[in-house]
Amino acid sequence: MSVELWTWIVVFLTFGLYIGIGIWARVRETEGFYVAGRGVPAVANGMATAADWMSAASFISMAGLISTLGYDGTIYLMGWTGGYVLLALLLAPYLRKFGKFTVPDFVGDRYYSQTARIVAVVAAIFVSFTYVIPQLVGVGTVFARYLGVPSITGLWIGVAVTALFAVLGGMKGITWTQVAQYVVLIIAYLIPAFAIASILTGNPIPQLALTFSDIVPRLNQLQVDLGFTQYTEPFQRFDMLNILLITACLMFGTAGLPHVIIRFYTVPTVKDARASAGWALLFIALLYTTAPAISVFARYNLIDTLNGKTFEEVRQIDWVAKWEKTGLLRFVDKNNDGVVTIAKGNAFKFIPGTTRPDPNNPDMTSANEVFINNDIIVLSTPEVAKLAPFIIALVAAGGLAAALSTASGLLIVISSALSHDLYYRVINPRATEGQRLLIARIGILIAVLVAGYFGQNPPGFIAQLVAFAFGLAASSFFPAILLGIFDKRTTREGAIAGMVVGLVFTAFYIIGTSYFGMPRWFFGVSPEGIGTVGMLLNLVITYAVSRMTPEPPKEVQELVESVRIPRGAKEAHYH
């Protein structure tokens, strides 16, 4: 059977499974919709957390960025992994002990202010929308190649499926769907990695193949021969300051992501929250320790397959012809010699305001004749390596699972921010369960439609957009949560001022430098790393303003103590 037929079968079966779980887990009460009734076992929550956190950026785009950027691309690997550890160990257990539904819940109650709650709602929606758009872009990318439909059509298919199981099951349906999606995505990621490692190095274990074979020296030499720097040469795309700031931004952003934090509210106890964090770290490590190997294998195979071949030969390769139709792979013969040249620089100039190449406008300042969208590198790797059609179809299903699992978690954040934090806690505190559920479901539909609209014309690569979302999360939520747990002197005035300044500063810098031609006026810091500066600004302002305003009420300080200090700790200390 062809790749396309296998893909239709595998995608049909997995989508049927997701929708079936959503119908089975449908809920009729708000606790089930927001936090799955707090009845999710630790192992299952670990899988769901891993699927929720490992988005299309992890599955589709991260290895592609590392493959393209080499050493500098590992900032994504270090930042996201370190950030999850920071969240799991420093924040998650305390937030679970607090025991409400959402991050704005914590902010509103901890800072005894509806204004603080509303600021947190705005931040949660802003961060989640920025993050959900690239998930839907990933869905469109997969459908465009493997199901032969336009990427926009594929995007709206993903929108429909995600909306269906999210609206029906809420967090309960999403949780068990994410368990299934984790199994699909990790199998889809590991099987091709084992196969390609064996083909290229003779060692079937990717991590060992990367470390103990000669594949990296071979790639380094290949790059030098083509005029690139060595693959492992540091500080080619980013200088040392930006490497530090981007890595830190991804770490602090991870620790402030509402859709990941909310996962720790779904388990029965604080102990289960800690256990599920450990399980999630194990499940995440399976993919994250494999990604660098996939990156090297993909880079080596792509160069070896394309460079030096004639354009006629290249276009007769099945996977090349099909990816070229999507517009995510393009060629241009700049010197009219009929031979493909891969070199430094852009093959085409980009359409203004996008990351899409203009096919009628080659970039004649470089010798490079191939444009490869970062987001297709992982998806195309099994085809480049000539693996079986079933494995290629499995990778497509894995990419969809990664994108849809994160998209559904983000939709719950947006929905709960609108229905629980804004409508119920601010506008209509007397709302019935039925009214709150209705608003929640309407919120999901509105959110997914708006995200789908923006996903049709994405303003960046998947991982780049996700990095922006992490910057916004770091600069808005992380200081408020950190100080809210560990500093009972932090006041509502300090938290509100810090969140507003951090979020506005970071958003202004990202949007201005990325889309409106504004120079990088803050010491040349890239928009991917400015979230660290916004976070520090938020932290300093929150701390300073808190010291200049009246201390929080006694009951709030007692709440902070009760969240942070285990029950019985004081008694044990005094005895």
Q: What residues contact 351, with CB distance under 8 A and at least 6 apart?
A: 357, 358
Q: What is the mean pLDDT of each run of 10 residues along the chain (575 residues)?
A: 86 85 71 63 88 78 84 87 84 78 85 92 86 79 75 80 71 80 90 92 94 92 88 87 92 85 79 86 91 91 89 89 85 92 90 76 92 83 87 87 80 82 86 84 84 74 70 92 93 96 93 86 92 96 96 91 63 37
Q: What is the pLDDT of residue 573?
A: 38
Three-state DSSP at 154 gives helix
CA dist 518 to 309, 509, 515, 522, 541, Å? Answer: 41, 8, 8, 11, 25
Residue 310 in 3-state DSSP?
A: strand
Cα–Cα dist 360/348, whole Å:
8
The Cα 142–Cα 136 span in angstroms is 10
Report residue 201 as tokens.
Answer: 């190095």
Residue 47 · residue 281 · CB < 8 Å: no
Contact 537, 523 (CB under 8 A): no
Please give the pLDDT value at position 533. Answer: 96
pLDDT at 405: 78
pLDDT of residue 354: 66
List helix spans (H) across 147-269: 151-201, 206-212, 215-225, 240-255, 258-261
- C-alpha span between 159 and 244 (Å, rounded): 36
Burial class (CB in 10 A: 0-12, 13-18, 19+), 567: exposed
Structure tokens of 376? Answer: 């297709």
What are the structural domains, with CATH classification, of the chain? 3-299+386-450 (1.20.1730.10), 302-382 (no CATH)
- 292 token code pair: 């660098």
> How do beta strands 370-372 and 348-350 pair?
unpaired
- What is the reported pTM? 0.83
Do the strands 329-331 and 370-372 form a parallel or antiparallel pair, or are they unpaired?
antiparallel
- The pLDDT of residue 269: 81
Q: What is the pLDDT of residues 83-125, one digit of tens each?
A: 888 888 888 788 878 776 678 888 998 999 999 999 999 888 8
